[in-house]
């Protein structure tokens, strides 16, 4: 498995601002993922972030709104840009350690946009 931490754990932000969420894992992993969980709903994959390449975004998500960095094998950031109340969600990162075929999730960042 993997131990994953996220910062911040929660935040309340004003409309039009941006928030950067950090994800740190305790071991080197190739595959990192960012998900969104809207209130009362299931998880939706935003993008896959592999070290050394551009993030791959799912349909409905764009880089200008959700820029991602992946500077090394243990760290990634997701920025939620120009926020609106509709961006209020839990944002989770996950990792898939090599040869496990299993994703492990961080504790999530609960974002509220006013």
Q: Which positions touch another protein (CB under 8 A)?
A: 1, 6, 31, 33, 41-45, 48, 58, 92, 94, 96, 101-108
Asked if 16 contacts 82 with a C-beta cutoff of 8 angstroms, the reply is yes
What's the closest the beta carbon of residue 111 comes to another protein, in angstroms? 14
| Min separation Cβ 6 and another protein, Å | 8
Rounded Cα distance between 101 and 9, Å, is 27
Q: Would you say 48 or 77 has its CB closer to another protein?
A: 48
Q: Which is nearer to another protein, 4 or 80 (CB)?
A: 4
Q: Compute the least distance from the CB of residue 38 to another protein, in Å.
A: 12
Cis peptide before 8 (omega within 30 of 0): yes
DSSP assigned state of 82: S
Indicate the residue among 6 and 89 with the shorter CB distance to another protein.
6
- In the complex, what is the shortest distance from the CB of residue 83 to another protein, in angstroms, rounded to a whole number? 21
């Amino acid at each position: 498995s993997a131990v994953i931490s996220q910062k911040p754990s929660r935040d309340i932000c004003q409309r039009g601002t941006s928030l950067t969420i950090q994800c740190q894992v305790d071991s080197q992993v190739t595959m990192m993922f960012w998900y969104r969980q809207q209130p009362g709903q299931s998880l939706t994959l935003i993008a896959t972030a592999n070290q050394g390449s551009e993030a791959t975004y799912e349909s409905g998500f764009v880089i200008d709104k959700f820029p991602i960095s992946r500077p090394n094998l243990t760290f990634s950031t997701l920025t939620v840009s120009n926020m609106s109340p509709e961006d209020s969600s839990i944002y989770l990162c996950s990792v898939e350690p090599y040869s496990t075929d299993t994703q492990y999730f961080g504790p999530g960042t609960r974002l509220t946009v006013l």
